[in-house]
Structure 1
Amino acid sequence: MVATDLDRTVIYSRAAFGPAEPETVCVEHLDGREISYMTVAATKQLGALASAAALVPVTTRTIEQFQRVRLPGAPWPYAVTSNGGTILRNGLPDRRWRSALDARVRAECASLVEVRAELRARVDESFALKLREADDLFVYLVVDLERLPDGFLAEWDAWCRPRGWSASRQGRKIYTMPLPVCKSHAVHEVRRRMLDAGELHPDSRLLAAGDGALDAEMLRTADAAIRPRHGELEQSNWNHPGVVVTAASGIHASEEILDYFLGVRA
């Protein structure tokens, strides 16, 4: 089973290409604009991987944002969106998973209303461009990185932690997330279901890829994993036994990641 993050791992905006102008395929449109791409080589690799393994896209995107993406190998029997808040089974949200998760968040964490109000009180228009709520689960802030005050993220995370939340930055977005809402939890639930249904061999390995802090637990708990040489984990020099780092950064890292999956699978 292969669990892979999407943005800046498999798919890339033009701003995230890095020092490259490769031949690409657009895989996402918004309001008629092309916004996400894969290299031509990566689309072929992803198609081959989808035929050879149980591939599970895993993303912090909301359901609506995920459904805009058109990837080779789709449709997916399972996908994970909203940072693990939603498990999609044949494109439909699993209500039992979400209900159980909501109950845990209510029991262990401050409310979304309280956290959003506190965050709103801490920001202003000099650096905060947008404040959004995602799937009634978490909030994210789009910021001007050049104007983001020093220490803002660390101070906000310090406020969040005792209340059962965390804060992390991915590009221009600062995510504020309840601790139980975790990609890793959802991925392991999907794996359990597939094993119980006989859709995976009992000895099959879990492989994973991702570039951000919200991917770290998923990488750490996989049997083998890979991360690109860019993103939040690279900036913090995050490493873990069994996690490979690509040689390339930018969009060409996706080809290395998919090659890695195909090689381990082989």
Structure 2
Amino acid sequence: MSASPVLIATDLDRTMIYSKNAIGGDPSGTDLGSGPAPVCVEYYDGGPLSHMSVDTIALLRDLSAAVPVIPTTTRTIAQFQRIDLPGGPWKYAITSNGGNILVDGKPDLTWRSEIDRSTRDAGVELAHVHTELEARIDVSWVSSMRVADELFPYLVVDLSTIPMDFEAGWSDWCTSRGWNVSRQGRKIYTMPDAVSKSRALAEVRRRLIESGDLAADATVLSAGDGALDADMLEYADFAIRPRHGELEELNWQRPTVTVTETSGIEASVEIVSWFSAHVAAMTVGTPHESQQLPQ
């Protein structure tokens, strides 16, 4: 098999897969549209949790058979493994916002050791951050506080009662200590600067080139909807984001980043179609400029 001219990395939640409340794009909407009913690809506690469009499933399967596709998520390893994501098995997957790389479904311990070392060198350790965060929150507006894969804490909050100055104050404390803060929906993540999707994607790209599965000059494409995806979108040669989510709320724009026309689960079809069109353009001839490629 010849080296692929394209590498694709895609976020999952609200990019490829959608909860019932996110299907319509509006957190309060559940409009499924007029097409076939979405397919449940994740169950939790015996009930359906995440869904995919029938068209997205078909397109993603075809895409992953043609070029390397890297599922890239802030989910923990266990949360990622709950998803029956079409197109697998996955040679590589990125979880924990880049803190873990899965190789044939198993965590790469060498990569994780490097992440842990970088986090220690860059600032304060998780235990210190966790203690400080605990001192700043209250059960009146925090429904849960968890630690993802012993890498970073995140809160599930009530947006109607969270103190207005919490995020800014907590972000100020973290910034000077090698950590950063991001909110996605009701979740507030506190992330080590050493942990990022782009860093993990660069490592996967290096390994694929080294193994001969990816051309050294391969085009990198990516997709995502949240602030924790922004570095990955900027790392890619070309990227796409849906017309919903945190980046849409921030009106986040870059010259190399396309924004979908649709929102909600329909945007996933548009995203995978966009990937497919770029792959077709890259595999039939010489690379095109972004304005010559399908938008």
TM class by smaller structure: over 0.9
Q: Which residue of 2 aligns with 1:138?
A: 152
Paired residue type of 1:170: Q
In the alignment, which residue of structure 2 is the partner of 1:256? 270
Distance in 1 between residues matched to 2:248 and 2:165, nearest whole Å:
19
The reply to whether residue 218 of structure 1 matches residue 232 of structure 2 is: yes
Which SS does the other structure have where 2:9 is aligned?
strand
1:72 aligned partner: 86
Secondary structure of the residue aligned to 1:204 is: strand
| Aligned counterpart in structure 2 of residue 2 of structure 1, from 1, 8, 11 | 8
Structure 1 position 151, deviation (Å): 2.5
Matches within 5 A, 1:191-210: 191-210=205-224
Alignment correspondent of 2:290: none
- Unpaired runs of at least 5, structure 2: 1-6, 281-295
Residue 16 (str. 1) matches residue 22 (str. 2): yes
Residue in structure 2 matched with residue 189 of structure 1 by the alignment: 203
User: Out of 32, 37, 47, which is 2:51 matched to?
Assistant: 37
**Corresponding residue for 1:28?**
42
CA positional deviation for 1:203: 2.9
Deviation string 1:153-206 (CA, Å, 9 cap, x unpaired) is: 121111100010001001110000000100000001000100011011233211
Structure 1 CA distance, aligned partners of 2:232 and 2:80?
A: 19
CA distance in 1, matches of 2:201, 2:215: 16
Match of 1:243 in 2: 257
Structure 1 residue 150, shift from structure 2 partner? 1.3
Q: Which deviates further from its counterpart, 49-58 or 143-152? A: 143-152
CA distance in 2, matches of 1:112, 1:203: 37
The reply to whether residue 227 of structure 1 matches residue 227 of structure 2 is no
Name the SS of the counterpart of 1:249 in structure 2.
Answer: coil
Of 161, 168, 172, which aligns to 2:186?
Answer: 172
Q: Which residue of 1 aligns with 2:175?
A: 161
CA shift, 1:259, in A, is 0.6
What CA deviation, in whole Å up to 9, does each residue of 1:124-157 have, x standing for no partner?
A: 1111000001111000000011112213212111
Name the residue aligned to 2:123. 109
TM-score by length of 2: 0.89
Does 1:91 pair with 2:105? Answer: yes
- Report how far residue 117 of structure 1 moved: 1.0
Unmatched tracts of structure 1, length 5 or more:
none
Deviation at 1:114, TM superposition (A): 1.0
Write out per-residue CA displacement over residues 49-105 of structure 1, whole angstroms, 9 at most, x where no aligned residue.
111210000000000000000011111000000000001010111111111111111
What is the distance in 2 between the residues matched to 1:255 and 1:151? Answer: 38
Q: C-alpha distance in 2, partners of 1:168/1:230?
A: 16
Which residue type is aligned with residue 120 of structure 1?
A: E
Corresponding residue number in structure 1 for 2:132: 118
2:156 and 2:84 map into 1 onto residues whose CA distance is 24
For 1:151 and 1:215, the matched residues in 2 are separated by 24
Residues 8-52 of structure 1: CA deviation (Å, up to 9, x unaligned): 000000111125314110000111110000011111111111112
3-state SS of paired residue (2:138): coil
The letter for the 2-side match of 1:219 is L
Q: C-alpha separation between the residues in 2 aligned to 1:30 and 1:108?
A: 36
- Larger CA deviation: 200-209 vs 255-264: 200-209
Give the corresponding residue for 2:288. none
State the SS of the aligned residue for 2:234: helix
User: Matches of 1:149 and 1:222 in 2, distance apart?
Assistant: 36
Once residues 144 and 251 of structure 1 are traced to their aligned partners in structure 2, the CA distance between those partners, rounded to angstroms, is 25
Q: Which runs of 4+ in 1 moved over 3 A?
A: none
* Paired residues, number: 266
Letter of the 2:10 counterpart: T
Q: Distance in 1 between matches of 2:249 and 2:240?
A: 15
One-letter identity of the residue aligned with 1:2: I
What SS is found at the alignment partner of 1:202? strand
